[in-house]
Amino acid sequence: FQYKDHLGNIRLSYQDADLNGSIDPTTEIIEEKNYYPFGLLQKGYNNVVNGTAHPYGYNGKEEQEELGLDWHDYGARMYDAALGRWHSTDNKAEFYFANSPYVYALNTPIQAMDPDGNLVIFINGLGGGGQNYWRTYDKVRIGVTLNRMGNEVPVYRNELRSAFDLNVSDHLGDHNRMYIDGSPGSILNNFTSGQRFSQGYDEGLAQAASIIGSLARDPQGNITETIKIITHSMGGVYGKGFVSALKYYIKTSKDPQVRKALITLVGDFDPFQAGGKLGEADGNTYTQQFINSGWWDIFNAGWLANEEEEGADEVIRNENKTSHFVDTFIGNIDQLQEGTYEWNDDKQEWICTSCKND
């Protein structure tokens, strides 16, 4: 198990080796890590390793210790926590003229993080945000260990069985991913479609500048990457608010390049409460809805989200599937497709030519 702080830093790795439901800090704490603000590991205390050292830490990134470099691998760039600087320039540096292209998180490391040193947006349903919502793990027995009484107890680890998000990225050819919690707070705060639409709209406005800023551009500054949004369950209506806010930000921007930012696809998988006005698809954004509509297995909740969205460009029903869980839609990923669009100079916006409401 791991404990992470608000920046994704792995602070504590531990295990319940004797499976007694509690953690013995003297024997079951595998590793503790504490960091200076820019990610340099604090040494000299609380750093005893009981087991195999974990190579991931600051921001959850892999620590590269070969040749004594002590760098962090963010995918697009290598980061040196001792300096608080990258070893190569930010390929989105044109958005931050007032800052060095080598600084980390705009020199605000306790408030922000650089996710990959550089977009499919995944908006989940009930159950918490992050990539693990979209992935399925199997608990696999890998051996035994001895507890304090000298008795053998089994040792397990989680092994990845399926990764819906990675499969979507592979299919769409876009590995720049972002995860949004589409059911934040308790069920009392997000059960109604109105609550989730408003939450999605507010989050969309808050994230719009950074999302547009993360998109790839050519040397002339033209945006070359599109936005795709994938939702599941309660994230469906939340996503409608999110899309509405993004499109408002794009349309009202005074920057002509920002106004050419384009959402090419919304893929809604078993969206909950999709039949109401707030679940209606945007008429100028290509929208696909996928439904598992089998009703005979009540425990897997396939019946939970059978309403069709008003205005969806394509509705795909799996009549023989009864589960609401996202991993049961992996077979539909190959059917995801982006819409086609043409730029309208008079309206200064993209027009969807493959949408039925174009």
Q: What is the pLDDT of residues 45-99, one digit of tens each?
A: 665 566 555 566 666 677 776 666 777 776 667 778 777 777 776 554 544 444 5
Q: Which residues contact 112 (CB under 8 A, 6 or more apart)?
A: 7, 105, 106
* 6-20, 105-119, 166-180, 228-242: the lowest-pLDDT one: 105-119
Query: What pLDDT is stored for residue 117 in this prediction?
Result: 44
Residue with tokens 């769409």: 172
Do residues 94 and 221 lie in contact, with contact meaning Cβ atoms separated by under 8 Å?
yes
Residue 265, amino acid: L
What is d(CA 351, CA 341) in angstroms, rounded to the nearest whole number?
5
HSE-up of residue 156 (Cα within 13 Å, Cβ side): 10
Do residues 187 and 126 lie in contact, with contact meaning Cβ atoms separated by under 8 Å?
yes
Six token digits for residue 244: 């509405």
Query: What pLDDT is stored for residue 12 in this prediction?
Result: 79
Report CA 323 to chain centroid distance, whole Å: 22
97 burial via Cβ count (<10 Å: 0-12, 13-18, 19+): exposed
pLDDT (mean) for 311-334: 91
Highest average pLDDT, of 14-28, 213-227, 269-283, comes from 269-283
Identify which has the larger pLDDT, 169 or 12: 169
Q: Domain 160-352 belongs to what architecture?
A: 3-Layer(aba) Sandwich (3.40)
For the question of whether the overall pTM of this predicted structure is more than 0.85, the answer is: no
Residue 277, amino acid: K
Six token digits for residue 22: 């509690």
Task: Determine which helix (DSSP H) or strand (DSSP E) holds 212, and give its type and residue range.
Answer: helix 193-214
For the chain, the average pLDDT equals 81
Q: How many CB atoms lie within 10 A of CB 152?
A: 10
Under DSSP, the state recorded for 308 is P
| Domain residue spans of the chain | 1-114, 160-352
Q: How confident is the model at residue 109 (pLDDT cuts 50, 70, 90)?
A: low
**In sequence order, which ranges of the chain are alpha helices (DSSP H)?**
164-172, 187-190, 193-214, 235-252
Do residues 222 and 186 lie in contact, with contact meaning Cβ atoms separated by under 8 Å?
no
Q: How confident is the model at residue 36 (pLDDT cuts 50, 70, 90)?
A: confident
What is d(CA 193, CA 272) in angstroms, rounded to the nearest whole number?
8
Predicted confidence (pLDDT) at residue 242 exceeds the cutoff of 80: yes
Residue 328, amino acid: T
What does R_g of the chain's alpha carbons equal in angstroms? 23
Query: What pLDDT is stored for residue 248 in this prediction?
Result: 97
Identify which has the larger pLDDT, 234 or 185: 234
What is d(CA 180, CA 235) in angstroms, rounded to the nearest whole number?
9
Predicted confidence (pLDDT) at residue 252 exceeds the cutoff of 70: yes
In degrees rounded to 5, what are phi and psi of residue 254?
-85, -5
Predicted confidence (pLDDT) at residue 272 exceeds the cutoff of 60: yes
Phi-psi region of 105 (alpha: psi -120 to 50; beta: other; left: phi over 0): left
* 4-8, 148-152, 199-203: the lowest-pLDDT one: 4-8
Distance between first and last Cα of the chain: 49
Predicted confidence (pLDDT) at residue 112 exceeds the cutoff of 60: no
Each residue's pLDDT tens digit, 160-194: 888 999 999 989 988 888 999 988 877 667 778 89
Do residues 311 and 283 lie in contact, with contact meaning Cβ atoms separated by under 8 Å?
yes
Each residue's pLDDT tens digit, 277-302: 999 999 999 999 999 887 666 655 55
Biggest distance spanned by C-alpha atoms of the chain: 79
Percent over 90 (pLDDT), the chain: 35
